Amino acid sequence: MKRSNVAYQVMWNRLISVVEEQAQALVRTAFSTSVREAGDLSAGVYDVKGQMLAQAVTGTPGHVNAMADAVAHFIRRIGRDNIYEGDVYITNDPWEGTGHLHDITMVTPSFYRKELVGFFACTAHIVDIGGRGFGADAASIYEEGLYLPIMKFAERGQVDQTLLKIVRGNVREPDQLIGDIYALSTCNEIGHRRLTDMMQEFDISDLKTISEFILENSRRATIERIAALPKKSASGELTVDGFEHPITLKVKIIVHKDKIISDFTGSSGLDKKGINCPLVYTKAYACYALKVAIAPEIPNNAASLAPFEIVAPVDTIVNAVHPAPVALRHIIGHFVPDAVFNAFDKIVPSVVPAEGAGCLCNFQVSLRPSSDSLLGKNAKRSEVLTFNSGGSGARPKHDGLNATAFPSGVMTMPIEATEHAGPVIIWRKELRPDSGGNGKQRGGLGQYMEVGAQEGYEFDFQAMFDRVNYPALGRRGGGSGASTSIEQDNGTPMNGKGKQFVPNGRKVIMAFPGGAGYGDAKGRALDQVKRDLLRGYISIETAKEYYGLSQEEIDVVQKAIVNGEDF
């Protein structure tokens, strides 16, 4: 039956709804707070060749764009002759999954009327995978946790119980991890059921024609956007803290008529610690950066990603190969978009934002009763992972977003959910005034946090921060964002990365970085400056020094504060 483009568009939209329901099922059933509260996940549907047709809106670019390549690896490893109805496949392979051992990817073949019609895949970040724990301290992948090669979690509906025993025996939070694995499997099943409903409703027996429609239209639309760009090349770079020494990302963007090449030659070499980034994750964020700059409204799928080619020499920080440690690959990966933007801005000005906080401001707390604790035998060890954000960079026509994760897009975790996960106390969590870089458009604010433990507990604090020594840089005359700081409440300095002991009764005090500003601060609208001062985003000193507010104008703002007015 020949169908109209309108009918195919309806089916395309339906597929996007299917995978969004798939993702929401994972959010509702996951055990880990990283999935349930932060949305650190991805979900998608694929054709029989393993090409991604649609992705869920909920999720991160790093997961979904890396997962776009992963399903082909599953098909190759499992073998087409070994794919059965009722199968579920699993891996956390960093190079054939999404970049590190803490991400579990599961793939489920979808059969309709006994015929294979496609695949559903999903990924979730899990709190613990054994080894040294989530952090940059390992010197090789072998120290970073339990490795699960691409294999069958279930064959023809029967779960591999031996696999579950091995997993349980190697992780600190076995119930949580096994619960997450089942949640991943279940969300794929939800996707399969909804796809079956759709195929029945539209009376189709396979996804071949809708797949061709989706991929051809996405490819054509993306190439049209690329063809409209200047055929130029430009280089950009970015320096960040690294672990013990700074890391530089260098990229050359080359625009052709039908593709864009991002060449990371010249970037720093491998680090001894686990901040190295596999190419699949570098590719995920480089493609994302170009896509949001060029064609943000074109749906994300295999064809809309294909015109973006990523090149990086082996054994560089952005193309780490086995057995390099990669646990915190997101720290480098989340800076890839800023490096790409720094180059792209020279080709097409006034499109991309200023640099932002970049990587997430995550930390994990490993709590245990202290040696002098009176808690008794019922006191348990706990692993608590929190997702937090600095400010995003200002945009050409808009301020940066406060305490917002860009480019990852995950949500900041609520205090209540964090404290429910273990005997941890968040004493303070608030926006950080003056942390956003000054400019015609102001950078987004970072935030303050103070964390400690309940009485009788000590903890290891695993820091995963950056921008301590290299704050976000402004664009087109904008000011830099504030840098990261971390110390104990008695003034003891702490490192931006690595596991550090915190004794019973002590707190960790953190100030997360702000995004940089865009344009000359003198060009900022007066009402915007007054509003920022009124809301406590900037101080009186900043209003005077950078934005030129007079004492008379400041008096007007202070009067408005007293009267509860706004600008």
Of 327, 359, 326, 341, which is closest to residue 240 (Cα–Cα)? 359
pLDDT at 484 over 70: yes
- Give the integer Cα–Cα distance in Å for 125 and 102: 6
- pLDDT for 375 equals 72
Check whether residue 63 and residue 200 sit in a common domain. yes
Do 392 and 540 lie in one domain? The reply is no
Residues 530 and 517 in one domain: no
Q: Per the domain annotation, does 307 fall within a domain?
A: no
Average pLDDT of the residues in 281-308: 96
State yes or no: pLDDT of 374 exceeds 80: no
Residue 284 belongs to some domain of the structure? no
Task: Provide the pLDDT for residue 169.
Answer: 97
Average pLDDT (340-348) is: 98
Q: Residue 446 falls within a domain, yes or no?
A: yes
- To 10 degrees, the CA torsion angle through 165, 166, 167, 173? 70
Instruction: Answer yes or no: do 559 and 472 share one domain.
Output: no
441 and 543 share a domain?
Answer: no
Q: Is the pLDDT of residue 434 over 80?
A: yes
Asked whether residue 357 falls in the same domain as residue 490, the answer is yes
377 confidence band (pLDDT: 50, 70, 90): low
Q: Give a yes or no: residue 424 inside a domain.
A: yes
Domain count, the chain: 3
Domain boundary residue, one of 184, 219, 254:
219
**Residues of the chain above pLDDT 90, percent:** 91
Same domain, 543 and 502: no
Residue 142 lies in a domain: yes
Residue 142 pLDDT exceeds 70: yes
Q: How many CA atoms lie within 13 Å of 79's alpha carbon, on the beta-carbon side?
A: 2
Q: Examine the domain organization and report whether 550 and 415 are in the same domain.
A: no
Provide mean pLDDT across the span 42-59: 96
**Are the CB atoms for 480 and 472 separated by under 8 Å?**
yes
**47 inside domain:** yes
Domain membership flag for residue 296: no
Average pLDDT, the chain: 95
Same-domain status, 480 and 561: no
Task: Looking at the structure, tell me whether residues 404 and 543 fall in a common domain.
Answer: no
Helices (H) and strands (E) in the chain, counts: 14, 19
Q: What is the rounded CA–CA span in Å between residue 361 and residue 330?
A: 11
pLDDT, mean of residues 8-23: 96
Q: Residues 242-267: what's their mean pLDDT?
A: 97
- In this structure, the number of other CB atoms found within 10 A of the CB of residue 8 comes to 17
**How far is the C-alpha of 134 from the C-alpha of 464, rounded, in Å?**
9
Instruction: Quickly count: other Cβ atoms within 10 Å of residue 146's Cβ.
Output: 16
Q: What percent of the chain has pLDDT over 70?
A: 99
Note down the domain range covering 548.
Answer: 525-567
262, 308 contact by CB (below 8 A): yes
pLDDT grade for 412, boundaries at 50, 70 and 90: confident
Based on the domain organization, do 535 and 427 belong to the same domain?
A: no
Considering the domain architecture, whether residues 516 and 552 belong to the same structural domain is answered as: no
Amino acid at 306: A
**Strand partners for 461:** 365, 500
Tokens 């549907």 label which residue? 45
Model's pTM, two decimal places?
Answer: 0.95
552 in a structural domain: yes
Instruction: Calculate mean pLDDT across residues 404-426.
Output: 93
